[in-house]
Structure 1
Amino acid sequence: MPIDEHLVRPKRRDAALNNERLVQAAREVFARQGLSATLEDIAKHAGIGVGTVYRNFASKKEIVETLYDAAIDSALADAQTALEIEDPWVAIVSFFEVTAANQAQDRGLCETFLGHDGFGPNEPIAEKLVAVLSPLFDRASQAGVLREGVTVTDIGPIFAMLNSVYRMSNARPDLWRRYLALMLDGLRASDRPALPLPALDVASFKTALSAGD
């Protein structure tokens, strides 16, 4: 028996709208509550039943990964934009400030990058991060503006430390800027002594980022 397309199309359109509404609701809930938010929280925020959530996404992990794909592309685009800045040190500062500002506004984004609650970058994505960001750090190092021993893999621990500041910033949402400035001062070449320990090597960095995968 032929299927009446007029009966099928509205259903498909509704399903697409529900999916878009869910993704947007998840983005807003995770930004405010972090990755501890539940599917029930997302459904409530979207104004739909939790059963609809499960019909669109098999798990919270699937929703996080959907959002994370877009987030990683945005972060890599920010790194590419920073490379277009002529001054190598200003480029480094720009990358950190833009990335930190995005993470400060979105707890879920920050926690995803840091591999919290079982979510985080997989190894191929970690490799991509290293590949895109290495030229930024290599250029600054060759220009003599980075402290000796500073490398691309230092970004993980730096953003992990900033994450603690984001959590303290309810009264002062921009408090992280003070501590980022202190950290950047520590990265800049000067007459300071050599760093006491080497940075993570690339293999360890990828393992650390993908620990929650």
Structure 2
Amino acid sequence: MSSSQSPRRDARRNHERLLVEAKQLFAERGVDAPLDELAARAGVGAGTVYRHFPNRDALVRELYDAAVTDLHDFAPQFLGAETGWLGIELWLELVSGWLADSPYLPAVMRRVAELDPKHRPATEFVPMMDAVVARAQAEGSLRRDVTAVDLSVMVDMLGSLGQYGKAYLPYWRRQLTVMLDGLRARPDVTPLPGEGQAFDEFHDMSHAKGPTPPNG
């Protein structure tokens, strides 16, 4: 092994360790937690943190973009499911479980929305989500009045159970089962009230994760 390979390998290892520890630190204390504490948890010097991430915002942005990459990795499973209903099940189960296991994400999402309101990579998934919904509805397994945004809200709700900590994670599938039963097409379903929320509105709401002051 050349002398140049070892420093690069060490740098990659430090980078990954910092990301892992940042997720845990931000989950516990928010994205404004001291970066000196991040360095201590990762077992590196403060200078190492800033060599990898010139500022806090760069670290937050990398965590956010990595989460978007994870979602891209899920998409082929939904689209390639054997049936439309299985695509719905996979969507709710995989993404909700991932979100519940990533309690740092709400804080990261809020900060990125503040830093760059026009950064909306989630809009890339709208055609995929609409296709999964349309397929399940066409086969008659998903109720006709459910939208992709409805499912996204459900994912958000289930994923929020991660706030209770890992002790709750074995139980969140109970709520998933209740939701899936409510999504199935049946002749006796109660019609959903009103129109579904637009995706842009949901995106802004989910990235705010806080109360919206009343108008006027």
TM-score range (shorter-chain normalised) is 0.7 to 0.9
Verify the 8 A CA contact 2:84 2:136 in the aligned structure 1. Answer: yes
In structure 2, the CA distance between the partners of 1:89 and 1:122, relative to structure 1 (3 Å rule), is farther
Verify the 8 A CA contact 1:123 1:210 in the aligned structure 2. Answer: no
**What's 2:190 paired with?**
193
Post-superposition Cα deviations, 1:85-131, rounded to whole Å, max 9, x if no partner, equal: 1211111101211112222222124x268x34x23595441211212
In structure 2, what is the Cα distance between the partners aligned to 1:9 and 1:173?
40
Q: How many residues are treated as equivalent by the alignment? A: 202
In structure 1, what is the Cα distance between the partners aligned to 2:120 and 2:167?
38
In structure 2, the CA distance between the partners of 1:9 and 1:164, relative to structure 1 (3 Å rule), is closer
What are structure 2's unaligned runs of at least 5 residues? 210-216
Query: How far is the alpha carbon of 1:63 from its aligned partner?
Result: 1.4
In structure 2, the CA distance between the partners of 1:201 and 1:54, relative to structure 1 (3 Å rule), is same
Give the % identical residues: 33
The match for 1:101 among 90, 97, 101 is 97
In structure 2, what is the Cα distance between the partners aligned to 1:71 and 1:25?
15
**What's 1:3 paired with?**
none
Verify the 8 A CA contact 1:147 1:187 in the aligned structure 2. Answer: yes
**What's 1:33 paired with?**
28
**What's 2:175 paired with?**
179
In structure 1, what is the Cα distance between the partners aligned to 2:18 and 2:137?
44
**What's 1:119 paired with?**
112
1:138 aligns with 2:134: yes
2:129 is paired with a residue whose SS is helix
Query: How far is the alpha carbon of 1:165 from its aligned partner?
Result: 2.5
Single out whichever of 185-194 and 57-66 deviates more from structure 2. 57-66
Amino acid at match of 2:193: P
In structure 1, what is the Cα distance between the partners aligned to 2:119 and 2:143?
28
In structure 1, what is the Cα distance between the partners aligned to 2:133 and 2:73?
16
In structure 2, what is the Cα distance between the partners aligned to 1:143 and 1:176?
28
What are structure 1's unaligned runs of at least 5 residues? 1-5
In structure 2, what is the Cα distance between the partners aligned to 1:210 and 1:105?
18
**What's 1:67 paired with?**
63
Verify the 8 A CA contact 1:122 1:210 in the aligned structure 2. Answer: no
Structure 1 segment 153-164 matched on structure 2, within 5 A: 153-164=149-160
Post-superposition Cα deviations, 1:170-202, rounded to whole Å, max 9, x if no partner, equal: 533222111111122222212212101221123
In structure 1, what is the Cα distance between the partners aligned to 2:201 and 2:185?
25
Post-superposition Cα deviations, 1:138-192, rounded to whole Å, max 9, x if no partner, equal: 1112222222321111233213322442223553322211111112222221221
In structure 1, what is the Cα distance between the partners aligned to 2:22 and 2:153?
27
1:80 aligns with 2:73: no
In structure 2, what is the Cα distance between the partners aligned to 1:158 and 1:126?
16
Query: How far is the alpha carbon of 1:67 from its aligned partner?
Result: 2.5
Query: How far is the alpha carbon of 1:211 from its aligned partner?
Result: 4.8
Query: How far is the alpha carbon of 1:40 from its aligned partner?
Result: 3.0
In structure 2, what is the Cα distance between the partners aligned to 1:98 and 1:34?
26
Tell me the TM-score normalized by structure 1.
0.77
Tell me the TM-score normalized by structure 2.
0.76
How well do the aligned residues superpose, as a CA RMSD in angstroms?
A: 3.0
In structure 1, what is the Cα distance between the partners aligned to 2:70 and 2:64?
10
